[in-house]
Amino acid sequence: MKRKNLKRITIISILLSFIFTGGIFAYWASSVLGASGEETPAIQVGVGLPAETTLSLVEAQRTQGLLVPVGYESVGSVSQIVITYEVELVPNEEGAVGAEALLTVTHGALASPLLNVNIVVPNGTIVVGGEKVYVYVSITLCEPSNQTEYESVANLEFDIPLTFIATI
């Protein structure tokens, strides 16, 4: 009889420890704030001074999904990745507060001709010390024509260099 009670007490103790541990973990995990996938990268540009950054496709795919050619989307993949940059023009010797400048954004060499980058600067102008301008960078991937071409891009980690420049 004592053996049955010992087994029951052991089982109940283990179950209670799981219940309390799970509750403590759930409480602790609810207070942890992770990095938001919706963060907008901020870029500060001075008139005539280019600001350079690198868009990591690996990082973008972690939040938006694996990039695939149009028509091959499935769960966890997308045919287009769009990154929004928040650009601010800061005053310097070339441009005082209130001066209007032309904002251009270009990308550097791409790792593959199958990769397409489209950059949209909605207004094209930016004001020194004025409101921030949002620049949209969209990335798509063309369909490889054969297995060899597919294998040449399948495991590449694309880093896309971007240059932001404001000229008066």
Residue 24, domain extent = 1-32
90 shares a domain with 18: no
Mean pLDDT calculated for residue range 30-51: 66
Identify whether residues 138 and 161 lie together within a single domain: yes
Quick one: 86 and 154 in the same domain? yes
pLDDT band, very low/low/confident/very high, at 134 (cuts 50, 70, 90): very high
Q: Can you list the alpha helix ranges (DSSP code H) found in 31-112?
A: 57-64
Write out pLDDT tens, residues 136-145: 999 988 888 8
For 29-65, letters b (16+ CB in 10 Å) and e give: eeeeeeeeeeeeeebebbbeeebeeebebeebbeebb
Give, in degrees to the nearest 5, the angle at Cα 24 between 22 and 30. 100
What pLDDT, on the 0 to 100 scale, is given for residue 59?
84
Residue 37 lies in a domain: no
Q: What is the domain count for the chain?
A: 2
Are residues 51 and 118 located together in one domain of the fold? yes
Confidence of residue 28 (pLDDT cuts 50, 70, 90): very low
Torsion of CA 40, 41, 47, 53, to 10 degrees: -150
Residues 26 and 91 in one domain: no
Q: What does the pLDDT look like over 41-80, one tens digit per residue?
A: 888 888 878 889 988 888 888 888 888 888 888 888 888 9
CA nearest to 55, candidates 164, 161, 165, 163: 161
- 21's tokens: 């541990």
Q: Are 11 and 56 in the same domain?
A: no
Query: Is residue 21 located within the same domain as residue 68?
Result: no
Same domain, 27 and 57: no
Q: What is the pLDDT of residue 159?
A: 86
> Which tokens sit at 65?
């999904």
Contact call for residues 77 and 141 (beta carbons, < 8 A) = no
Q: What is the pLDDT of residue 94?
A: 66
Q: Cβ of 73: how many Cβ atoms within 10 Å?
A: 15
Please tell me what DSSP assigns to residue 111: S
Query: Do 144 and 162 sit in the same domain of this protein?
Result: yes
Report yes or no on 51 lying in a domain: yes
Taking residues 13-27, what's their average pLDDT?
Answer: 60
Same structural domain for residues 27 and 53?
Answer: no
**Domain shared by 68 and 27, yes or no:** no
At residue 16, the pLDDT reads 63
Looking at the structure, do residues 62 and 1 belong to the same domain, yes or no?
A: no
Answer yes or no: is 105 within a domain: yes
Give CB contacts under 8 A, 24+ apart, made by 56-63: 56/157, 56/158, 56/159, 57/81, 57/139, 57/157, 57/158, 57/159, 57/160, 58/157, 58/158, 60/139, 62/37, 63/37, 63/38
> Which position has the higher pLDDT, 4 or 55?
55
